[in-house]
Amino acid sequence: MLLSNLKENQTARIVHIGGNGALRRRILEMGLIKGSEVYVEKYAPLKDPIELIVKGYHVSLRVEEAAQITVDNVK
Amino acid sequence: MNQKRLSIALAGNPNSGKTTIFNNMTGTRQKVGNWPGVTVEKKEGHVKKFGYDLKIIDLPGTYSLTPFTIEEIIARDFVLEERPDVVIDIIDASNLERSLYLATQFREIDCKVLFALNMADVARSRGLKIDGKKLSELLDVPVVFTVGNKNQGIDTLLEKAIELAESNYEIPQKRRVKYSKDIENSISSLKSFLENWTQGSIPYSSRWTAIKLLEDDKIVKKRVLNKAGENSREILQQARTHRDFLVDRFDDDPEIVMTDERYGFIAGIIKEVLTASTKQRIDISRNIDLFLTNRFLGFPIFIFFIWAMFQLTFSLGAYPMEWIDLGVSFVSKSLAHVLPNNLFKDFLLDGVIAGVGSVAIFLPNILILFFCIAIFEDTGYMSRAAFLMDKIMHLIGLHGKSFIPMLMGFGCNVPAIMASRTLESEKDRTLTILITPFMSCSAKLPVYIVLAGAFFGARAGTVIFGIYLAGIILSIVTGRLFRSTLLRGADAPFVMELPPYRAPMIKSLLIHMWDRSKIFLKKMGGVILAGSVVVWILSAFPHNILYSLDYNSEIAKVKASYNAEIETARESDKKRLAKKRDVAIAELIKAKKAEKAEKSFMGRIGKMLAPVFAPIGIDWRGSIALLTGFVAKEIVVSTMGILYAADETDDSAALKNALLSSGMTPLGALAMMVFVLLYMPCLATVAAIRRETGSFKWMIFSIVYSTSLAWIVSFCIYHGGTILLA
């Protein structure tokens, strides 16, 4: 399942980061790595971007960026 | 007493409170500039403590030290090449795990580094307990707890930094980031290879160099090529072999695997060092965001904050603006009495002082705008604004962070363009800078008011609103156009931290505000002053003009004839006659001024350019006015006032009447307003564009593009309108 498919208040675990180049590097250095747990805090009023909690802090990314991240263990 | 000198670099993630600590350490003894050759801010300061003279350098905030973004390159290069005596990594204690990603990279460089666990109070209140001693042990790095915005722990931090700098620090072999077996084998192998083949010609730690080569770090590769001479090919070949092996082994790039493993190593540290209280603590920041990024309340609240910012800028700013205005005219009038009537006096009063006045009058607005920006940034609300606006901005081809800078353009383009530094990607920055001038700044408003007021009467307000809207629409169109042509390329990642809300320190806000305003005064101020003087020179010369009428003798004649009448008139009539006399003399003086303006160099240039403006319905007077608008847009109105022989005040009925009887049509007025909206921005803005894009190329492009667009759109309006109305 893709991170961009998650709904508000769901939790999941990251399985794979797709894409390459600047976006992938950025996602990784912000702590969104394989095995990290993410919590979907909310979607912005215009439904984009998404606010997540990962590694104890809040990070936001566009829906199209979240679509690069595969997750499982959705709760 | 000769004090010992040390250099200390401050590094850390964005939002870690690094700047507050820097400000606290250095106070007003800081120097702000740019890192050489780039438009990234460099801050340096000094502090004398414990008998040392400490130079503190504020490195750009980064999440990592890869060789990809300009900020990371600057930070890493500074540590590697300039070799500060100590590096202090400022860590947000509430964000330990992610922050350690950068911290471990500093550790790997093997420089003298110590950690400041900042905002320790917030971490405590969130129930997080960090065992500083254990952390220090595990990474073999001194650790100090600080609360930056309460000025706690700073002295200890400096003390420990000095201690570290003076100690004989040996690179500890055991306490460091350890990777998995295959990677460690490659590293050791490459490390020995390096040591044998370069014999110290590479100034970095061999283990670190080996790691970077395995990561295919292009900057390190280039340096190895430069420094290792003939052996470099062998070395790079070895690195390549190991890399290929690892790619095969892990089915992924080594740098990705190593990132994973770094975080794994960090996770291990966190387990031993961090305890989170099980009691559910109230997270104030999260609660605030329940409102500020709420699906229904988020936008209204955002609009309110923006409204408040402009209210503050214009309403509050009006008072000091008036005082400055009074002050300048007081100085001017006093000097007018004292100095003899000569050319130098005119130069001083109408050129220099008027020029200085036009810079100074901006200052209150600028200060307030910068102060508001500082509040948005320091509290953390700025990222929420980007979060709310990104969807819309992205449709234009921009980043959510572009919104606030562009919005500021409605106040003044100069701070707006300077504020675009918050954008990380150079393309985003350039694009934002290029379209910000279409946000109609407040200096253009007087022009609209005069023209719309004269020609559109009751509908003036609607017309002016239409002009603003046109500016916004054209900026969107231009943005999309440039994004798909000149500034093409992949979108920069949006991935952005939403830091916890913090109460800003007044001292910090004021320093922020003052730093940027100082840049405005020094750089743009000089340019505006020079421009004003040039305009004065062009308007004042040639000095001896052949007037169509001998004004001086005419004035004398009028005076004499009226005064004679007054002598013989009845008491009740004397006042009325005196008034008539004064009005007649004033008319002659205005006509003289108008003729002087027409026949000066400025006037001649304007008349030469008149054919360019004729097709868009603007006459030679309008051309001159628009030319003077290059210095500052407000001058357009005062120039028109002089040329139409009206008063020099902004919206006098005299000017409106003069315009109406000059042969200008409503369509012509509309064309002129649109031209003013779009054509090349004022000198200060042009200077800001050059400074923030770092090149003359974009500055010139901006001038050419905006003026051409102005002409084309005005042309379409003038002729299109004529056709429609016929």
What is the residue-wise DSSP string for B691-716? HHH--HHHHHHHHHHHHHHHHHHHHH
Give the tens place of pLDDT for each residue, B360-406.
777 888 889 889 988 998 899 999 999 999 999 998 889 999 998 89
Inter-chain residue contact B494 with A60, CB threshold 8 Å: yes
Task: Identify the three-state secondary structure at position B534.
Answer: helix
Supply the Cα-derived Rg of chain B in whole angstroms. Answer: 32
Q: Is the pLDDT of residue B651 over 50?
A: no
C-alpha torsion sign, points B522, B528, B533, B534:
positive
Q: B97: nearest CA in chain A?
A: A55
On whether both B197 and B158 belong to a single domain, the answer is no
On whether both B38 and B141 belong to a single domain, the answer is yes
For residue B46, the tally of other CB atoms under 10 A from its CB is 15
Q: A24: nearest CA in chain B?
A: B493
Residues of B with CB below 8 A from A44's CB? 293, 298, 387-388, 390-391
Strands A69-72 and B4-12, by their bridges, are unpaired
- pLDDT of the residue at A50: 97
Q: Is the pLDDT of residue B24 over 50?
A: yes
- pLDDT of the residue at B229: 77
Q: Please classify residue B115 by burial: count the beta carbons closer than 10 Å to its beta carbon, then call 0-12 exposed, 13-18 middle and 19+ buried.
A: buried
On whether both B148 and B50 belong to a single domain, the answer is yes
Determine the Cα angle at B502 with ends A46 and B285, to 5°: 50
Q: Average the pLDDT over each of A48-57, B250-259, B653-662 and give the range with the smallest value.
A: B653-662
The pTM (predicted TM-score) of the whole model is 0.86
Residues of A with CB below 8 A from B495's CB? 23, 26-27, 30, 59-61, 65
For residue B14, the tally of other CB atoms under 10 A from its CB is 18
On whether both B228 and B104 belong to a single domain, the answer is no
Are the CB atoms for B637 and B450 separated by under 8 Å? yes
Report, as an integer, the average pLDDT of B454-478. Answer: 90
How large a percentage of chain B has pLDDT more than 90? 39
Inter-chain residue contact A27 with B493, CB threshold 8 Å: yes
Is B492's Cβ below 8 Å from some Cβ in A? yes
Grade residue B150 by pLDDT with cuts at 50, 70 and 90: confident
Inter-chain residue contact A59 with B400, CB threshold 8 Å: no
Amino acid at B403: F
Tell which of B274, B309, B330 closes a domain.
B274
User: For testing the chain A interface, which of B104, B392, B494, B501 should be mutated: the one with the most A CBs within 10 Å?
Assistant: B494
Is B101's Cβ below 8 Å from some Cβ in A? yes
On whether both B146 and B225 belong to a single domain, the answer is no
Structure token digits, residue B43: 């801050």
**Best CA proximity match to B26, nearest among B421, B508, B376, B509:** B508
- pLDDT of the residue at B652: 62
Report, as an integer, the average pLDDT of B667-695. Answer: 91
Q: Is the pLDDT of residue B281 over 70?
A: no
Give the tens place of pLDDT for each residue, B90-118.
999 989 999 999 999 999 997 899 999 99
Q: Is the pLDDT of residue B561 over 50?
A: yes
Query: CATH number for the domain including B14?
Result: 3.40.50.300
Query: CATH number for the domain including B202?
Result: 1.10.287.1770
How large a percentage of chain B has pLDDT more than 70? 97
Q: Please classify residue B462 by burial: count the beta carbons closer than 10 Å to its beta carbon, then call 0-12 exposed, 13-18 middle and 19+ buried.
A: exposed
Using CA atoms in the order B341, B343, B345, B349, what is the torsion angle rounded to 10 degrees?
130
CA distance B598 to B605: 10
Query: CATH number for the domain including A8?
Result: 2.30.30.90
Task: Identify the three-state secondary structure at position B423.
Answer: coil
Grade residue B550 by pLDDT with cuts at 50, 70 and 90: confident
Q: Is the pLDDT of residue B451 over 50?
A: yes
On whether both B151 and B262 belong to a single domain, the answer is no
Q: Quote the number of domains for chain B.
A: 2
Report, as an integer, the average pLDDT of B690-719. Answer: 92
Provide the shortest C-alpha distance from residue B250 to chain A (in Å): 14
Inter-chain residue contact A33 with B263, CB threshold 8 Å: yes
Residue B274 is inside which H or E element, if any?
strand B274-276
Structure token digits, residue B552: 């001086």
Q: Is the pLDDT of residue B498 over 50?
A: yes
ipTM of the complex: 0.96
Q: For chain B, what is the mean pLDDT?
A: 87
Residues of A with CB below 8 A from B302's CB? none
Is B291's Cβ below 8 Å from some Cβ in A? no
Q: Average the pLDDT over each of A12-26, B376-390, B524-538, B700-714 and give the range with the smallest value.
A: B524-538
- pLDDT of the residue at B6: 93
Residues 6+ apart with CB under 8 A from B416: B405, B406, B407, B408, B409, B436, B439
Say which residue the tokens 């007087």 belong to.
B446
How large a percentage of chain A has pLDDT more than 70? 100
Amino acid at B55: K
Q: Quote the number of domains for chain A.
A: 1
Residue B7 is inside which H or E element, if any?
strand B4-12
- pLDDT of the residue at A8: 94
Say which residue the tokens 């005076």 belong to.
B559
Q: Please classify residue B656 by burial: count the beta carbons closer than 10 Å to its beta carbon, then call 0-12 exposed, 13-18 middle and 19+ buried.
A: middle
Provide the shortest C-alpha distance from residue B131 to chain A (in Å): 17
Strands B86-92 and B4-12, by their bridges, are parallel
Beta pairing partners, B274: B130
On whether both B76 and B113 belong to a single domain, the answer is yes
Q: Assign 3-class secondary structure to B136-168.
A: HHHHCCCEEECEHHHCECHHHHHHHHHHHHHCC
Report, as an integer, the average pLDDT of B643-651. Answer: 60
Grade residue B631 by pLDDT with cuts at 50, 70 and 90: confident
Are the CB atoms for B134 and B43 separated by under 8 Å? no
On whether both B202 and B135 belong to a single domain, the answer is no
For residue B504, the tally of other CB atoms under 10 A from its CB is 18
Give the tens place of pLDDT for each residue, B242-277.
999 999 999 888 988 999 899 999 999 999 999 987
On whether both B157 and B191 belong to a single domain, the answer is no
Report, as an integer, the average pLDDT of B503-527. Answer: 83
Q: Which domain holds residue B265?
A: 181-274
Tell which of B209, B242, B274 closes a domain.
B274
Q: Out of B97, B388, B498, whose CB is closest to A58?
A: B498
On whether both B212 and B140 belong to a single domain, the answer is no
Tell which of B250, B274, B298 closes a domain.
B274
- pLDDT of the residue at B650: 46
On whether both B129 and B209 belong to a single domain, the answer is no
Structure token digits, residue B481: 């156009």
Q: Is the pLDDT of residue B295 over 60?
A: yes
Residues of B with CB below 8 A from A63's CB? none
Please state whether B559 falls in left (phi above 0), alpha (psi between -120 and 50) or beta. Answer: alpha
For residue B650, the tally of other CB atoms under 10 A from its CB is 15
Q: Which domain holds residue A26?
A: 3-72
For residue B110, the tally of other CB atoms under 10 A from its CB is 17
Residues of A with CB below 8 A from B123's CB? none
Grade residue B647 by pLDDT with cuts at 50, 70 and 90: low
Q: Is the pLDDT of residue B648 over 60?
A: no
- pLDDT of the residue at B294: 92
Q: Is the pLDDT of residue B87 over 90?
A: yes
Q: Is the pLDDT of residue B490 over 80?
A: no
Q: Out of A31, A45, A56, whose CB is closest to B388?
A: A45
On whether both B129 and B262 belong to a single domain, the answer is no
Q: Average the pLDDT over each of B299-313, B382-396, B617-631 and give the range with the smallest value.
A: B617-631
- pLDDT of the residue at B521: 82
